[in-house]
Amino acid sequence: MPTNALNLSRLLLAERNSLLQRVRRLVGRDRAEDVVQKLWLKVQAVRDHPPIDNPEAYLHRLAINAATDELRAAARQRAETQAEVDRLLWVEDDRPRPDRIVLQRDMLDRIRAAIDSLPEPTRSIFRLNRFDGVTQRDIARRYAVSTTIVERHIRRALKILADVRQA
Domains and CATH numbers, the chain: 3-89 (1.10.1740.10), 98-166 (1.10.10.10)
- The torsion of the CA quartet 114, 120, 121, 127, rounded to 10 degrees, works out to 30
The mean per-residue pLDDT over the stretch 7-36 comes to: 90
Please indicate, yes or no, whether the overall pTM of this predicted structure exceeds 0.85: no
The mean per-residue pLDDT over the stretch 140-155 comes to: 95
Burial class (CB in 10 A: 0-12, 13-18, 19+), 138: middle
Confidence (pLDDT) at 102: 92
Q: Does position 45 have pLDDT exceeding 90, yes or no?
A: no
Confidence (pLDDT) at 1: 58
In angstroms, what CA-CA distances link 165 with 11, 73, 161? 83, 57, 6
CA–CA dist 61, 40 (Å, integer): 13
Q: Is the peptide bond before 96 cis (omega within 30 degrees of 0)?
A: no
Helices marked H in 54-96:
55-89
pLDDT by residue (tens digit) across 106-139?
Answer: 999 999 999 999 999 999 999 999 999 999 999 9
Q: How confident is the model at residue 47 (pLDDT cuts 50, 70, 90)?
A: confident
pLDDT by residue (tens digit) across 60-94?
Answer: 999 999 999 999 999 999 999 999 988 888 877 77
